[in-house]
Amino acid sequence: MSKPEAVKEPSMEMQKAMIARNYDAITSKHETGRKVSSTFVPGNLNELLMCYDIVNNLPEINAIQAGMRKASGGYIMEAEKSGHSEDVCTYVKADIGQMSKGNIAPNGRPYPNPDVLMLSYTGCYTFMKWFELLREEYKCPTLMLHVPYEGDGHSTKHMRDYIVKQLKEVVIPGLEQVSGVKFDIDRLRQYLRNRAKAEDNLVWRLEQGKNKPPSPIDAYFGGVYYIGPIFTAFRGTEDAVTYYEIVRKEVQNRVENHQGPLTPEGTYFNDQKYRLIVEGPPNWTNFREFWKMFYDEGAIVVASSYTKVGGLYDQGFRHDPDNPLESLADYCLGCYTNLNLPTRVDLLAKYVEEYEADGLLINSIKSCNSFSAGQLMIMKEVERRTGRPGAFIETDLVDPRYFSAANVKNRLESYFQMIEQKARGGGSKTVAA
């Protein structure tokens, strides 16, 4: 028996329509003559690509779409048959396997070959290896923006200047050559103005997790919908501005009516027993089932690191149209995957305190070193600083073989029992793999 259709709010329906239009723009390349890029989510230069009328295609998002449609498992196995290790990022294997299976987009049409690969390196070494494979496959120009890692926990003027120099000398001339369009800095400024408006409303929405009781948002499962447009192909557009205005009205309505977020079953999640901070990406192949484990137990996620993977807007960063290239550089430097471990600990401990959370839950992704490296240390240090218990579960991005519903459910139940014991005055300890 099939599951009932998930209930969606107007903002979710708008985002669904935006995504569909972008896939139509990508797959109609040969009819329209528009150029297509492939790029990644953290540190992507969507506003700059729009200056050249280039359509933005994101392999990570394509892998997520395949995971949610239950197609990624077959793609991953196909990639492994061709020699890719089980330990390789499953986004990569889903993308590579999909290419060998006809490379069909969600709208049923084949993806065209990209005209340019635009790589902004922000803390994930896998991205570079992934684009080496794509470059070998597509034989198209590759532009790389190297973003220095914030190893000392902060960026410097030298780092910023280094990125701006690359934008001026490599990226902008390269995009001009691919597109045949001359760079217009005033056009970029307008896109950044749009982006700053959207950023304000996104941050307002994220901070509503501080409300209690109940929180009107879920900052992890619901959060992936809220970050979608601003982290992908719509950032800087008028559509994104409108989308975040709609989101703000929806959340404001729930605040005024003392309601929690809407679950996929169409009921408001008002009975919230546990307030959590979550570190790490979600599992996409069993996304709805994973989410249900939380609200069945009364657990709401009030803040998460995953909603910062495309930018730390809630820590004060905004794009500045008066300094457009410098602003793009600052954005790339500040993506979550570009932060060192002590900075991540600082951020997560701050969330536990500011959002009055009961503890930190880590969803460790088997194939994602960018998030998973050091997570046990992160959890233990956040526990030490805050006195709140931590827990550790393990799934994967889009490989269904690494989602064990029974295992995850048992660990969550044990964690919630620990939180109850802590509330009754018991000691804090760690649930770990």
pLDDT surpassing 60 at residue 202? yes
Q: What is the mean pLDDT of residues 246-259?
A: 97
State whether residue 332 is helix, strand or coil: helix
pLDDT attached to residue 206: 96
Q: How far apart (Å, rounded) are the C-alpha atoms in residues 412 and 331?
A: 35
Q: What is the mean pLDDT of residues 126-139?
A: 91
- List CB contacts of 241: < 8 A, sequence separation 6 or more: 194, 197, 198
pLDDT surpassing 70 at residue 352? yes
Going through 97-210 in order, the beta strands assigned E by DSSP cover: 116-121, 142-146
Long-range CB contacts for residues 201-207, cutoff 8 Å, separation at least 24: 201/244, 201/245, 201/247, 201/248, 202/226, 202/227, 202/230, 202/244, 202/247, 202/313, 203/313, 203/314, 204/248, 204/251, 205/244, 205/247, 205/248, 205/251, 206/303, 206/307, 206/313, 206/314, 207/314
pLDDT attached to residue 432: 40
Going through 18-134 in order, the beta strands assigned E by DSSP cover: 36-39, 55-57, 116-121
> pLDDT digit string (tens) for 27-66?
999 999 999 999 989 889 999 999 999 999 999 999 999 9
Token pair, residue 1, equals 């028996």
Phi and psi, residue 336, nearest 5°: -55, -40
pLDDT surpassing 90 at residue 427? no
pLDDT attached to residue 326: 97
Q: What is the mean pLDDT of residues 62-73?
A: 96
Token pair, residue 240, equals 């994104």
Token pair, residue 198, equals 């959207």
pLDDT surpassing 90 at residue 2? no
- Under the banding of pLDDT at 50, 70 and 90, the label for residue 431 is very low
Q: How far apart (Å, rounded) are the C-alpha atoms in residues 240 and 4?
A: 29
- Under the banding of pLDDT at 50, 70 and 90, the label for residue 313 is very high
Alpha helices in 258-361 (DSSP H): 287-296, 324-333, 341-354
pLDDT attached to residue 373: 85
Q: How far apart (Å, rounded) are the C-alpha atoms in residues 417 and 44?
A: 41
pLDDT surpassing 80 at residue 1? no
- How far CA 160 is from CA of 87, 143, 325, 414, in Å, comes to 34, 18, 9, 45
Question: Which DSSP helix (H) or strand (E) runs through 372?
Answer: helix 369-372
Q: How far apart (Å, rounded) are the C-alpha atoms in residues 171 and 177?
A: 10
Q: What is the DSSP string of 177-214?
A: HHH-----HHHHHHHHHHHHHHHHHHHHHHHGGG--SS
pLDDT attached to residue 88: 92
Q: What is the mean pLDDT of residues 114-136?
A: 89
Give the percent of the chain with pLDDT over 90.
Answer: 87
- List CB contacts of 153: < 8 A, sequence separation 6 or more: 339, 340, 342, 343
Q: How many Å from the N-terminal Cα to the C-terminal Cα in the chain?
A: 34
Q: How far apart (Å, rounded) are the C-alpha atoms in residues 400 and 383?
A: 30
pLDDT surpassing 70 at residue 429? no
Q: Edge-to-edge, what's the strand order for the sheet holding 299-304?
A: 299-304, 274-279, 359-365, 390-395
pLDDT attached to residue 426: 58
- Under the banding of pLDDT at 50, 70 and 90, the label for residue 433 is very low
pLDDT attached to residue 430: 40
pLDDT attached to residue 159: 97
> pLDDT digit string (tens) for 74-93?
999 999 999 999 889 999 99
Q: Is the dihedral of CA 381, 292, 406, 97 positive or negative?
A: negative
b/e map of 292-308 (b: 16 or more CB within 10 Å)? bbbbeeebbbbbbbbbb
Contact indicator for 241, 198 with CB cutoff of 8 Å: yes
Token pair, residue 10, equals 């107007």
pLDDT surpassing 50 at residue 374? yes
- List CB contacts of 376: < 8 A, sequence separation 6 or more: 362, 392, 432
User: Rounded to the nearest 5 degrees, what angle is found at the Cα of 45, between the Cα atoms of 22 and 337?
Assistant: 105
Domains, in order of start, for the chain: 10-182 (3.40.50.11890), 189-426 (3.40.50.11900)
Mean pLDDT for all residues in the chain: 94
Contact indicator for 37, 118 with CB cutoff of 8 Å: yes
Stated length of the chain: 433
> pLDDT digit string (tens) for 398-418?
999 999 999 999 999 999 999
> pLDDT digit string (tens) for 143-196?
999 999 999 999 999 999 999 999 999 999 999 999 999 999 999 999 999 999
Q: Which amino acid is at 103?
A: N
pLDDT surpassing 60 at residue 428? no
pLDDT attached to residue 3: 67
Q: What is the mean pLDDT of residues 376-380?
A: 96
